[in-house]
Amino acid sequence: MVESKQTINYKYYLADKSYKDNANLVRYWDQMQDFYEGKQFPDGYLTGIPKFTANLCKYLINTKASKLRGTPYTLAFQSANKQATTKLEKFDKFILLDLKYDTELQDSIINMLIYGTEVVFYHFDGESVTLNAVYKGKLSREHIDLRRFAVANPFLPSLQRQKWVMYWQQEEVEAVRERCIKMEGESEEDFETRKSRIMPDDYTDNKYPDQSYVSHGLCTVYTRYFRVNGEVYYQSSTREYDLFDPISLNPHTNAKKINKKLKKSLEENEKDANNPNKIIDYKIDSEAMLIESDKKTMSESEYIDELTKFKSYPFVDFAPTRRFNHFYGISDIQDVIAGQQVINFCLTMAGKSIQENAWGKWVAKYGALRGQQINNDGGQLLIDYSKNASFGVQRVEANSGNMLNIVEYVNQMLNILRTLNGANETITGENASQLSGYAISLLQEQGNTVFEMIQSKLWNDFAVSEATIRLQFYLLYYEDKIKFLYEYSDTEYEKAVSLVNEKRAFDLERYKANPSGQIPPSFDAYPTPERNTEEEFSSSDIKKTVFYIVPKAGRGIKYSEVVQADQINQLFKDGTIANLSVTDKRAYIELNPMIDETTKSKFKEILDNQERSENARLVETNKQLQTAVQQQQARIQNLTAQIEMYAQYIKDLKSEFKNRLSAADKINQYKQNAIDEIIKQQEASKQTASNTSKSSTSEETSQIMSEGLNAAING
């Protein structure tokens, strides 16, 4: 038969409740929450007086939270396997979008500032279906109320070193009964009896006379996480009954052997218990898990088995300001409460004073009014019926001299509290009209050292721890190939388009070089990539990879946007950066200490795009120049052939002209000789034929000259 007794989880709950009551923690958290929400006056305080609330607590918390969250950052999963790293980072980005992580992180920061500690809980809901991908089961992230959370040792700051951690929540009885699982060695009858005995917390026979209404009641379920052989198990219980045997968070672990050992250890501990106040528990791993292993190396199978253990609790905690050697931190509201109360009291009293003296008071001697009613309406005429020489009706003016002092005092208090909490006018930039942007940035840099310290812990501790928990779930709960959607960034999208264009151009050039036997490439064969792409993820892709998780913060609160914007605008305005080469631009951006990592990365993306565009333009220009050179070479060859032809033609002309000139010279020489001969003959004729008549001499001379000329020409 099933025995009714307090469960181990409930006993631990009572111990934690006793500690928190003695330490006044619950009342402390309630007070911090009330002051943040504006419930800053006790019930029944100053009854009948309008209570003015200047909620400085909420203003300071939201201001600090916006500063801490104002720095963009990304988580890099670094490993030697680049392909596995890329796949994991894409999948983690998808999960964070599905979790609405940006909004959740903002709530976490506000919680940690209000309560001093924030605890988030990761769990895998196998029945839920994500809206962004086609698979069943999704990872969930929840905020844990510190009032409903317990650790084994509150004086041990580290959550992961706790012997156990536990949280509890109220659920409907019917839902709790459905969560029950048959336990090791339990009969079917005992199982049904155990389920039926789960009742609401406030169950009594008088309150629930009709058993059919029991299922609508609420009962508290306590879920405790602990380690066995270095792996995390959990068990849920009500006040009197366990819902199931301990279950491993690793879905591949065979828990039957473990459960037998745990039950046996529990029975042995119950027999050996001498202290009645001691809580009898299973034999589980202690908080001091710092035992060095003798084996220095592991085989690959041993390494995979060790890597796939669920070794960390699925909880992540963060306390910006911890108490000394304590798990729970200090609220940022704690030091503001006293000043907040003074400010509210002063403003409330000032309002009360205004209320009481708004119309002033009147003094009337007996019989002076004779039934007249003073209503303070404008132009009201009052008759003083007193018989004395002095006035019988007289207004008493209110003393408002202290009001100015109260307002000034409140302003001073506000300024002091804002300065102490890092939200003064310089830090928030409210007095920008009196200072230059550079001066404001330097003052903000000086005043933001406290924020930077918390911010560094936030990224390197809280964010990295969350990513480590998510990685455990990825390894163990996403073994099947699942589809997820991924949106390319601008740089990634341009790279994808560039690869398609390059492949299209390559195939086209190959076809032009050898068109025979090939089908010309079709444009439809190279579709332009979509912004959203569907990819697949499986833990087998990353199972043998060791990852180091590194947060990469972007623009921090140390460097003001004003300085960067002013500097960058000036660089583009005067053309300084535009005249630099891409290599020089990279060096300038990388070495400039006033430009943060996010802006640098964005500049590098722009430079990468510019470099790719320039390279593409240069490649196209090179192709055009090569074509032009080939055309010029062909033209040069053509001109060279023409020049050689004209050179030969000129050579032939020279030879022909030379022969013609030689012949002409000979003709001229013959002509000259003939003329000389004629002249000689004429002189001889003058001497021998002096007596001949002129007519006969002339005829003979003409005939001789004609014969001689013909002889010279012909020969």
The arithmetic mean of pLDDT across residues 444-456, rounded, is 68
Strands of 554-682, DSSP E: none
Backbone conformation region of residue 626, classed left if phi is above 0, alpha if psi is from -120 to 50, else beta: alpha
**pLDDT exceeds cutoff 90 at 149:** yes
Q: What is the pLDDT of residue 242?
A: 94
Closest CA to 421 of 56, 28, 71: 56
Q: Assign 239 to helix, strand or coil.
A: coil
pLDDT for res 241: 94
pLDDT at residue 704 tops 70: no
Read off the tokens for 611. 């470099």
Per-residue tokens: 185: 């060695």
Residue 484 amino acid letter: F
Q: Are 35 and 337 in contact (CB under 8 A)?
A: yes
Instruction: Give the three-class secondary structure for 278.
Output: coil
Look at residue 347 in the predicted model and tell me its pLDDT.
Answer: 79
**Positive/negative CA dihedral, 354, 356, 358, 360:** negative
| Residue 393 β-bridge partners | 364
Q: Is the pLDDT of residue 146 over 90?
A: yes
Bridging pattern class, strands 149-151 and 164-172: antiparallel
Percentage of the chain beyond pLDDT 90 is 21
* Predicted pLDDT at 558: 45
* Cβ–Cβ under 8 Å, residues 59 and 423: yes
Helices (H), 379-513: 401-420, 425-428, 437-447, 449-457, 464-477, 490-513
pLDDT at 142: 94
* C-alpha R_g of the chain: 51
224 DSSP β-pair partners: 166, 235
More confidently predicted of 423 and 126: 126
What is the predicted pLDDT for the residue at 2? 55
**pLDDT one-digit tens code per residue, 385-396:** 887 777 788 877
AA identity, residue 679: I
Closest CA to 129 of 469, 468, 483, 475: 483
Quick check: 290 pLDDT over 50? no
Burial class of residue 104 in the structure, from the number of CB atoms within 10 Å of its CB (0-12 exposed, 13-18 middle, 19+ buried): middle
Residue 363 CA: distances (Å) to CA of 29, 34, 352, 358, 392: 52, 45, 22, 16, 8
Q: Assess whether pLDDT exceeds 90 at residue 551.
A: no
pLDDT higher than 50, residue 653: yes
pLDDT tens digits, one per residue of 590-621:
766 666 666 676 677 777 777 777 777 788 88
What secondary structure does DSSP assign to 646-692, as a single string? HHHHHHHHHHHHHHHHHHHHHHHHHHHHHHHHHHHHHHHHHHH-TTS
Nearest CA-CA partner of 10 in 236, 259, 260, 226: 236
pLDDT in tens, 487-500: 777 777 777 788 87
Q: Which has the higher per-residue pLDDT, 319 or 436? A: 319
| pLDDT attached to residue 98 | 87
Q: Residues 26-52: pLDDT tens digits? A: 999 999 999 999 888 877 777 767 777
pLDDT at 541: 82
- C-alpha 404/C-alpha 354 separation (Å) is 12
Cβ proximity of 165 and 235 under 8 Å:
no
More confident residue, 633 or 698: 633
Per-residue confidence (pLDDT) for residue 423, from 0 to 100: 57
Contact partners, residue 111, CB within 8 Å, separation at least 6? 118, 143
Highest mean pLDDT among 182-186, 238-242, 397-401: 238-242
For the residues 302-309, what does the mean pLDDT come to? 71
Q: Which tokens sit at 345?
A: 């009291």
CA 421 to chain centre: 27
What CA–CA distance (Å, rounded) separates 331 from 427? 21
pLDDT digits (tens, 9 = 90+) for 579-590: 677 777 777 777
Measured in degrees and rounded to the nearest 5, phi and psi for residue 142 equal -130, 150
- For position 179, what pLDDT does the model report? 92
What residues contact residue 565 under an 8 Å CB cut-off, 6+ apart? none
- pLDDT higher than threshold 80 for residue 640: yes
Rounded to the nearest integer, the mean pLDDT of the chain is: 78
pLDDT of residue 114: 94
Predicted confidence (pLDDT) per residue in 74-118, tens digit: 777 877 777 788 888 888 888 888 888 988 999 999 999 999 999
- Is the pLDDT at 555 greater than 50? The verdict is no
Q: Rounded to the nearest 10 degrees, how much is the dihedral formed by the CA atoms of 83, 87, 88, 92?
A: 160
What is the pTM (predicted TM-score) of this model? 0.70
Residue 177: pLDDT band with limits 50, 70, 90: very high
Contact 231, 310 (CB under 8 A): yes
Query: Who has greater pLDDT, 6 or 362?
Result: 6
Q: Report which of residues 196 and 215 the model is more confident about.
A: 196
pLDDT value, residue 22: 95
Q: Is the model's pLDDT at 227 over the cut of 70?
A: yes
Q: What tokens does 557 get?
A: 């609160």
Whether residue 657 is predicted with pLDDT greater than 50 in this model: the reply is: yes
Q: What is the pLDDT of residue 560?
A: 47
**Which own/partner contact pairs does 352-361 have at CB distance under 8 Å and 24+ positions apart?**
352/49, 352/50, 353/400, 353/402, 353/403, 354/403, 355/50, 356/398, 357/398, 357/399, 357/400, 360/395, 360/396, 360/397, 360/398, 361/395, 361/396, 361/398
Q: Is the pLDDT of residue 519 over 50?
A: yes
Residue 46's Cα: distance from chain center in Å?
49
CA distance 358 to 350: 12
Give SS3 for 394: strand
